[in-house]
Amino acid sequence: MSEALANLLNETRQFPPPAELAAHANVTVDAYAEASADRLAFWAKQADRLAWSKKWDEVLDWSNPPFAKWFVGGQLNVAYNCLDRHVEAGRGDKVAIHWEGEPGDTRTITYADLHELTCRAANALTELGVTAGDRVAIYLPMIPEAAVAMLACARIGAAHSVVFGGFSADSLSNRIQDASAKVVITADGGYRRGKPSALKPTVDEAVASCPSVEHVLVVRRTGEDVAWSAKDLWWHETVETASAEHTAQPFDAEHPLFILYTSGTTARPKGILHTTGGYLTQTSYTTHAVFDLKPETDVYWCTADIGWVTGHSYIVYGPLSNGATQVMYEGTPDTPNKGRFWEIVDRYGVSILYTAPTLIRTMMKWGDDIPAGFDLSSLRLLGSVGEPINPEAWMWYREHIGRGELPVVDTWWQTETGAIMISPLPGVTAAKPGSAMTPLPGIVADVVDDQGQSVPNGGGGYLVLREPWPSMLRTIWGDDNRFLETYWSRFEGMYFAGDGAKKDDDGHIWLLGRVDDVMLVSGHNISTTEVESALVSHPSVAEAAVVGATDPTTGQAIVAFAIPRGTTDIAGEAGKQLIADLRNHVSKTLGPIAKPRQIMLVAELPKTRSGKIMRRLLRDVAENRSLGDVTTLQDSSVMELISSGMSGAK
């Protein structure tokens, strides 16, 4: 993919697992051999970690690719696996969720409590006419009821469609309509940045254009006044008064579990469909393998929102199916102060932390002294997901959060893959900062060139998955053609992930971002991720975004936006000097071809609500165009700031 830019591959640091962790790891190196000897037998063994009401007849039916059927003929109930079986085994008193509201209110919910709440919700939904096969939309803040609502749907075989609470009425309405949801579960609001943030008015507006919706179930969280219509019911009057007795019925392994719309920055959202047996098998196994989760002793915390797939797989289904104790936090990391995350780690003794590069870089920007003020000695494993993590951010995470000793697992996967696919195993892999390393046991990933040929070590191209996996998406809801077109038409017989990647000389995989984010400068392919990593490796830069802007001479030219770290002086001459230094630094690190034409120092970057940088908007700025659609931006004022600064910088 880029001859001139082999430099990211020159990363020589490598960190073997801590001896203690390796000695007691849930999964050892043998898993790779076992899976490559017989992949389907390997997955059958992982499926056996779950409780099945009826055993499958066949592990995989791939007779009509790419429409997969896993664990054909098997039957199970997902909520039973996440709740009842732990209670029945005498672990009902174990804490499932240490919940912390943004204002500081807390709830401690045991497995017995969560089971009871879920049974009541399942009965309430049934009374409202929801039956197996129906769809229920969930639009909630990060409160325990979000997990309860999902589990209650799973329990009665209704597919949930969780819509992130930050989405607009239009987005919500489109998603409700696409899935013809019968019931919407929401709240009056939640707390964000120190104040109540209403949700119900958005639902009211959305539901007005959704004839499929028969009832709206409303959790009271903030206590603020809400408008009320004939469809509305209070959760506390409906769910909390319903019977706590409910027997979970088994469902077919391929019964739909949920639809989740990908947050795509451009195209119409796709309703990614996940089903029951394969999805739970892989989310459960990867939680056990990648996080080395020991349910008896660990306190696990995934900082994602339940509205994203990370929250589905690694707050609800993965951890609960393993009987984990976890932390769930409602609010933002800087409310009431920038130490909030570390205070939570300290208070609950969090041992496994799973978060996103965007947060790690934000913490870097806020300064090392903030985490240094807390006792983080309970931590034993750190995870990252959502974007390529720059080597410097990886190192900062290990040094400043992980005491310079903890393993960092960089986990690559997608809404579509359902569960982690490429990642170190913490007790096995000597991880390299910035690399997701190798496919997990049972996963067959590769990097191929334009023609779909596997590239040799040292080469770059497109990331593909060569074999079906248990938690793979089954289709795009209501649109099999789009499913075929989007993922299976680029390369014959392979799943095309849409990401660029490289194999280093050891064959380890480095993710380079979405293929749309590759620039063509004077005939050289240069990945935005590489230039961003080079910028972030400079001590004065906390975060950077790079785009290719049309250039009369070079075809595309590199334009960079960089957020200075901590207290860096950027006024007047100091700023100009820093920009010059940074251009030279990139040139030295990656080669002169990668030297940005322009660098702009900014205070913030435009991000989607899931924390991904919206390069499309930065490209608009860099090419002096008026801004495209900004509705999926987390903070729309960011773009005004950047645009005004840009015209001054030219």
Binding site residue list for ATP: 386-388, 410-415, 499, 514
Q: How far is the CB of 68 from ligand WT7 (least distance, A)?
A: 19
The residues of the shown chain that bind ligand WT7, judged by CB under 6 A, are 262-263, 308-310, 385-388, 410-415, 436, 497-499, 511, 514, 610
Q: How far is the CB of 410 from ligand WT7 (least distance, A)?
A: 5
Q: How far is the CB of 608 from ligand WT7 (least distance, A)?
A: 9
Nearer to ligand WT7 among residue 148 and residue 309 (C-beta): 309
Q: How far is the CB of 175 from ligand WT7 (least distance, A)?
A: 15
* Burial class of 580 by CB neighbour count within 10 A (0 to 12, 13 to 18, 19+): exposed
Nearer to ligand WT7 among residue 516 and residue 640 (C-beta): 516
Nearer to ligand WT7 among residue 132 and residue 444 (C-beta): 444
Nearer to ligand WT7 among residue 369 and residue 485 (C-beta): 485
| Pair 555, 521: CB distance under 8 Å | yes
Structure tokens at 294: 């020991």
Whether the upstream peptide bond of residue 66 has omega within 30° of 0, thus cis, is yes
Could you please report the per-residue DSSP string of 155-209? HHTPEEEE--TTS-HHHHHHHHHHHT-SEEEEESEEEETTEEEE-HHHHHHHHTT
Residues 6+ apart with CB under 8 A from 217: 124, 128, 183, 184, 185, 186, 233, 234, 235, 238, 239
Binding residue ranges for Mg(2+): 536, 538, 541
Could you please report the per-residue DSSP string of 457-515? TT-EEEEEE-S--TT---EETT-HHHHIIIIISSSTTSEEEEEEEEE-TT--EEEEEEG
Binding residue ranges for CoA: 192-195, 310, 522
What is the SS3 assignment for 411-445? CECCCCCCCCCECCCCCCCCECCCCCECECCCCCE
Q: Which amino acid is at 383?
A: G
Q: How far is the CB of 436 from ligand WT7 (least distance, A)?
A: 5
Nearer to ligand WT7 among residue 120 and residue 508 (C-beta): 508
Binding residue ranges: 192-195, 310, 386-388, 410-415, 499, 514, 522, 536, 538, 541
Count Cα neighbours of 124 within 13 Å in the Cβ-side half-sphere: 29
Q: How far, in Å, CA of 213 to CA of 183, rounded?
A: 5
Could you please report the per-residue DSSP string of 259-281? EEE---SSSPP-EEEEESHHHHH
Nearer to ligand WT7 among residue 218 and residue 419 (C-beta): 419
Residue with tokens 């936090």: 329
* Burial class of 167 by CB neighbour count within 10 A (0 to 12, 13 to 18, 19+): buried
Q: Compute CA distances 648 → 546, 606, 643, 644, whole Å.
A: 19, 19, 9, 7
Nearer to ligand WT7 among residue 210 and residue 534 (C-beta): 534
Nearer to ligand WT7 among residue 344 and residue 497 (C-beta): 497
Q: How far is the CB of 610 from ligand WT7 (least distance, A)?
A: 6
Q: How far, in Å, CA of 595 to CA of 521, rounded?
A: 10
Nearer to ligand WT7 among residue 263 and residue 527 (C-beta): 263
Nearer to ligand WT7 among residue 280 and residue 497 (C-beta): 497
Q: How far is the CB of 611 from ligand WT7 (least distance, A)?
A: 9
Q: How far is the CB of 153 from ligand WT7 (least distance, A)?
A: 21
Q: How far is the CB of 517 from ligand WT7 (least distance, A)?
A: 9
Q: How far, in Å, CA of 141 to CA of 192, rounded?
A: 9
Nearer to ligand WT7 among residue 383 and residue 564 (C-beta): 383
Q: How far is the CB of 415 from ligand WT7 (least distance, A)?
A: 3
Q: How far, in Å, CA of 434 to CA of 528, rounded?
A: 14
Radius of gyration of the chain (CA): 24
Q: How far, in Å, CA of 150 to CA of 112, rounded?
A: 17
Q: How far is the CB of 437 from ligand WT7 (least distance, A)?
A: 10
Q: Which of 601, 609, 595 is nearest to 577 (CA)?
A: 601
Angle at 432 between CA 430 and CA 438, to 5 degrees: 70
Q: How far, in Å, CA of 107 to CA of 222, rounded?
A: 15
